[in-house]
């Protein structure tokens, strides 16, 4: 269905706002808008205000740059977390992913992106300076690099490594290897090669690779 003939300018405006979201085409946008139009006014007001309120009131944790309702996020404020281990991630989704594994009890540092000359993102655009300040202040024993395995991720890892190598701490990187449940014959060569080169002691695999 072509969607050029809107019977209403208001409908067209709302549809085009939804169609500006990533992965939402004109057809889906129209479907979503018509769905909302069928809801009660109170529900539409709740929908509409939820996103505006988020945008207006959201804060970034002053310590780890994760988004938060408060100046210091729950993780950074928690006495149960090990503040001497900092896991460096690209964005808040990565924090949520790692939190969901329940395998990590340190704190985080959200870079807000990775170094990508193609997208015009340089080290100055990322939260790297504040990471170095945290490390320079002492009390940090380990930095765990958990960025994407892409050229940009590798570049960023190396940049951070160069900045921090003068400090007395361990810089580790999350293990790369064959995914659990994957069959070897379907693993790509680079991953399989890396998983052989970085093989670990069989006994160490008993504790599920827990860290922190």
- Strand pairing class (67-68; 59-60): antiparallel
Question: Encoding tokens for residue 211?
Answer: 């860290």
103 belongs to the binding site for a copy of itself (CB under 8 A): no
Distance separating alpha carbons of residues 89 and 112, to the nearest angstrom: 8
**Binding string, residues 5-44; x marks residues near a copy of itself by CB under 8 A:** xxxxxxx-xx--xx-xxxxx---x-xxxxxxxx-x-x--x
How far apart are CB 101 and a copy of itself at their closest, in Å? 9
How far apart are CB 41 and a copy of itself at their closest, in Å? 6
Distance separating alpha carbons of residues 104 and 84, to the nearest angstrom: 12
Please say whether the beta carbons of 110 and 66 come within 8 A. yes
166 belongs to the binding site for a copy of itself (CB under 8 A): no
156 belongs to the binding site for a copy of itself (CB under 8 A): no
Please say whether the beta carbons of 59 and 70 come within 8 A. yes
Looking at beta carbons only, is 12 or 82 nearer to a copy of itself?
12
136 belongs to the binding site for a copy of itself (CB under 8 A): no
Looking at beta carbons only, is 149 or 170 nearer to a copy of itself?
149
Helices of type H across the chain: 9-19, 26-38, 41-57, 74-77, 92-101, 129-136, 151-164, 189-197
Binding residue for a copy of itself (CB under 8 A) from 100, 165, 205, 207? 100
Beta bridge partners of 108: 87
How far apart are CB 104 and a copy of itself at their closest, in Å? 12
Distance separating alpha carbons of residues 21 and 34, to the nearest angstrom: 16
49 belongs to the binding site for a copy of itself (CB under 8 A): yes
Give the residue from 105, 110, 135, 139 showing the smallest Cα distance to 211.
105
Please list every residue from 60 through 99 that binds a copy of itself, using CB under 8 A: 61, 66-69, 73-75, 91-93, 95-97, 99
Give the residue from 45, 108, 107, 104 showing the smallest Cα distance to 79.
107
Looking at beta carbons only, is 97 or 200 nearer to a copy of itself?
97
167 belongs to the binding site for a copy of itself (CB under 8 A): no
Residues forming contacts to a copy of itself in the complex (CB under 8 A) are 1-11, 13-14, 17-18, 20-24, 28, 30-37, 39, 41, 44-58, 61, 66-69, 73-75, 91-93, 95-97, 99-100
């Amino acid at each position: 269905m072509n969607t050029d003939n809107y019977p209403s300018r208001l409908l067209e405006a709302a549809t085009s706002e939804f169609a500006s979201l990533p992965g939402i085409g004109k057809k889906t946008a129209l479907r979503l808008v018509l769905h909302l139009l069928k809801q009660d006014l109170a529900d539409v007001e709740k929908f509409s205000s939820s996103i505006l309120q988020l945008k207006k009131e959201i804060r970034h944790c002053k310590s780890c740059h994760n988004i938060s309702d408060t100046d210091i996020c729950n993780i950074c404020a928690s006495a149960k977390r090990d503040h001497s281990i900092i896991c460096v991630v690209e964005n808040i989704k990565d924090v949520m992913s790692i939190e969901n594994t329940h395998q990590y009890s340190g704190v985080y540092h959200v870079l807000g992106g990775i170094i990508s000359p193609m997208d015009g993102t340089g080290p100055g655009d990322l939260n790297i300076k504040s990471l170095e300040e945290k490390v320079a202040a002492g009390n940090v024993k380990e930095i765990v690099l958990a960025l994407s395995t892409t050229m940009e991720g590798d570049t960023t890892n190396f940049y951070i490594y160069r900045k921090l190598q003068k400090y007395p701490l361990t810089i580790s990187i999350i293990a790369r290897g064959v995914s659990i449940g994957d069959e070897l014959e379907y693993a790509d060569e680079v991953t399989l090669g890396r998983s052989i080169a970085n093989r670990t002691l069989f006994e160490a695999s008993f504790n599920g690779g827990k860290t922190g």
